[in-house]
Structure 1
């Protein structure tokens, strides 16, 4: 069954570095040596939002999301990329689609879109952690 699942999620990617604190160990009085500093960009350097999918057969489409993702934009991404990804990965028409419980994923209009396209959506527990593709694919 797991070989017929198309997994998906979206993520924000920092364009410069990581948006997190970093901790380092260094010798006393070396804090300002160039090898101990991390360059920065004013105002964080920006980020982009990406949607992607994968299966045991490999990766599907990776899509840059312009602006804020809402239900209509999510459905447009699915319309343009989901079935094509399933076809490219040779999943056939009877694959199962996995998405998390984000409100735009579970919206009535989105679930109706899946129904009209005859796409089975995997039931997913609320408040579940994000997926780690390397762990999932390694066990398929």
Structure 2
């Protein structure tokens, strides 16, 4: 799952952004991958190939996880779907127009709040701040988000695919 972080954080104009892909599961966070330029299906597929299994292994779960992502077009192209079907044991499919219930969205928000205390003036200082704060995320923080998945799914079903509080 990817997210954009903008800098400088307190100035309206003249900044830039850093796009990242990250992995989380109930044990904590895996790899954080910085994306240079605009991400497309080929860059995304390469990120999955180089980071997904490595992150799962780092967390001690190898292939014992349920993978989820949003319905971004680069996530749902045939090349990516084919790779996922050949390499991922369990995959949570979300309806095309459903709200994004992936708990990593809440983690991106948390990370954004954590880096606000850093003096970010460039892409490099932003990357360093993101890495530092990413590595400080506790397993308890992640478990809380993962444990909310059943409530997220129930809320999505109740709302018939319309937005929920998550």
- The RMSD of aligned alpha carbons is 2.2
Inter-partner Cα distance in structure 2 for 1:136 and 1:117: 24
Say which structure is richer in helix.
Answer: 2
For residues 23-66 of structure 1, give each alpha carbon's deviation from its aligned partner in whole angstroms, at most 9, with x where no partner exists.
Answer: xxxxxxxxxxxxxxxxx37x421111111110110001111001
Q: Secondary structure at the match of 2:30?
A: strand
Inter-partner Cα distance in structure 2 for 1:136 and 1:100: 18
Match of 2:58 among 88, 92, 95: 88
Is 1:100–2:70 an aligned residue pair?
yes
Corresponding residue for residue 31 of structure 2: 61
For these two proteins, the number of residue pairs brought into alignment is 110
Offset of residue 77 of structure 1: 0.4
Corresponding residue for residue 2 of structure 2: 10
Say which structure is richer in strand.
Answer: 1
Match of 1:73 among 38, 43, 46: 43
Inter-partner Cα distance in structure 2 for 1:87 and 1:128: 29
Offset of residue 96 of structure 1: 1.2
Give unmatched runs, 5+ long, in structure 1. 1-8, 19-39
TM-score, reference length from structure 2: 0.59
Q: Secondary structure at the match of 2:23?
A: strand
Inter-partner Cα distance in structure 1 for 2:18 and 2:48: 18
Inter-partner Cα distance in structure 2 for 1:129 and 1:74: 18
Corresponding residue for residue 132 of structure 1: 106
TM-score, reference length from structure 1: 0.69
Q: Which structure is larger by alpha-carbon Rg, 1 or 2? A: 1
Give unmatched runs, 5+ long, in structure 2. 111-140, 148-166
